[in-house]
Amino acid sequence: MSLAANAAVADAMVITKATAYDAEGTEDGNPELAAAHFVDHINYARVALAMHEYDVANAHISEAQDALALLRQANLESHKSVQVESGRVVYDYDTDQKNHYFPVSSEPVEVREMGKGPFWAKANTLAVTDAEIAYLTLDLNGSNAEKGLAKAKKALEQEYYTDADAALSKLIQQVVKVDAKDHMPQQVASDNIALARDFLSLNNYAGARFALKHADAALDTLERGLEEGDRKDRAEAMRKEVQTLRDEVAAGDPGLLTRADSSLKQWWRELKSWTD
């Protein structure tokens, strides 16, 4: 299928939330958001490649190139680094770079609208084997980004699909650094809860279950570090509520988000208030 014939499919695979770049070349004047979309498109392309959606992968590489060009116009090099909160998702397929990073909204009330993006993957297509929040630093100094995208696009056009994935994998390794420092457990818990909500909104129960597992672990760390009192009791109660939801997620009820949404929002807001 040609790119032209598959244009409607490609459009559906791209983030459908409207974007608007200002004259400075960053989305709404926000280099962090523009950089996040750059990372998004690279990882969308990788998952599309794994699912043999080659026209879709090509469309996302082009989007990544466009985002990079705009960031260059905004003189992003003046920023030594850009920090991005992302979902780290591991899919079950043969690739050198197992981790895929999909920047997430810091406010879970605004669910990102997607078509059949990376979170569409289910057990009968591309299984999720782990998912959690990750804190990234994106470094776009030098020409690695342009070279990596061009190499991936050329390999894809020549139908060397493994080489295209290898080029994108190498690019991620070159420009994305994962922050290995310890973050406050309430932050890790709230961010994983937001990630779980993103997954549930797209009926990806495996991803939600893994994200809730990491939220549960962070709440356990938080609880053990608190002195006796109301907050410790609340952390314990919240952890048990998260465990209950995780069990319900395993059952795969399609209406789960509708029932669980208020709890997810409440947990997120409560934990965020503990970090402020």
User: Do 171 and 120 sit in the same domain of this protein?
Assistant: yes
Question: pTM, whole model, 2 decimals?
Answer: 0.68
Q: Which of 143, 178, 213 finishes a domain?
A: 178
pLDDT tens profile 178-224? 776 667 888 889 888 988 888 887 777 888 888 899 999 999 999 99
Q: Domain range for residue 209?
A: 185-275
Using a 10 angstrom Cβ sphere, with 0-12 exposed, 13-18 middle and 19 or more buried, the burial of residue 98 is middle
User: Do 137 and 212 sit in the same domain of this protein?
Assistant: no
Residue recorded with tokens 């078509």 = 115
User: Do 125 and 108 sit in the same domain of this protein?
Assistant: yes
User: Do 174 and 256 sit in the same domain of this protein?
Assistant: no
Q: Which of 124, 143, 178 finishes a domain?
A: 178
pLDDT tens profile 93-126? 677 677 777 766 543 323 333 334 444 444 445 5
User: Do 173 and 213 sit in the same domain of this protein?
Assistant: no
User: Do 158 and 218 sit in the same domain of this protein?
Assistant: no
Asked, for residue 2, whether it belongs to a domain, the answer is: no
Asked, for residue 131, whether it belongs to a domain, the answer is: yes
Domain count, the chain: 2
pLDDT recorded at residue 121: 47
User: Do 72 and 195 sit in the same domain of this protein?
Assistant: no
Per-residue pLDDT of the chain (276 residues; tens, 9 = 90+): 222 222 222 222 222 222 323 323 345 456 666 777 788 889 888 888 888 888 889 999 998 998 888 777 766 544 446 677 777 777 666 776 777 777 665 433 233 333 344 444 444 455 677 777 777 788 877 888 999 999 999 999 999 999 999 999 999 888 888 776 667 888 889 888 988 888 887 777 888 888 899 999 999 999 998 888 888 999 999 999 999 999 988 877 777 878 888 899 999 999 988 876
Asked, for residue 213, whether it belongs to a domain, the answer is: yes
Asked, for residue 101, whether it belongs to a domain, the answer is: yes
Asked, for residue 88, whether it belongs to a domain, the answer is: yes
